[in-house]
Structure 1
Amino acid sequence: MAHRFEIRKNKAGEFVAYFCYNNETMFWTEGYASKASAQNAIESMKKNGPGAPVEDKS
């Protein structure tokens, strides 16, 4: 699969959820104190993201 979510630790020791396409990071979340919180962020994006509107503010 070309796209995936990854959970990594940042330099501050926090858990961060990343969305990657092929080998490129497209976006990431804030840092979380627990891995469970990062997993919850991923589940929220999966659930709420497909129906989110696009706002062009250019």
Structure 2
Amino acid sequence: MAHKFVIEKNKAGEYVAKFKYNSELIWWTEGYTSKASAQNAIDSILKNGPNAVQEDNS
């Protein structure tokens, strides 16, 4: 699979949800104190993302 979500700990010891494509980091969330909160962020993106409006501000 070329794209995936991962949950990792940052240097501050917080959980961060990341989206990677071909091992390249595309974006990441803020740090969360619990792994469950990072998972909730991923779940929210999967649920709400497909209906998001795309804007071109160029």
| TM-score normalised by length of structure 2 | 0.96
The Cα RMSD (Å) is 0.6
Residue identity opposite 1:14 in structure 2? E
Shift of 1:55: 1.1
More helix by share: 2
Matches within 5 A, 1:40-51: 40-51=40-51
Shift of 1:34: 0.3
CA distance in 1, matches of 2:21, 2:51: 20
Tell me the percent identity: 69
| TM-score normalised by length of structure 1 | 0.96
Extract unaligned runs of 5+ from structure 2.
none
1:29 equivalenced with 2:39 (yes/no):
no
Extract unaligned runs of 5+ from structure 1.
none
CA distance in 1, matches of 2:32, 2:57: 29
Alignment length, in residue pairs?
58
Q: Which runs of 4+ in 1 moved over 6 A?
A: none
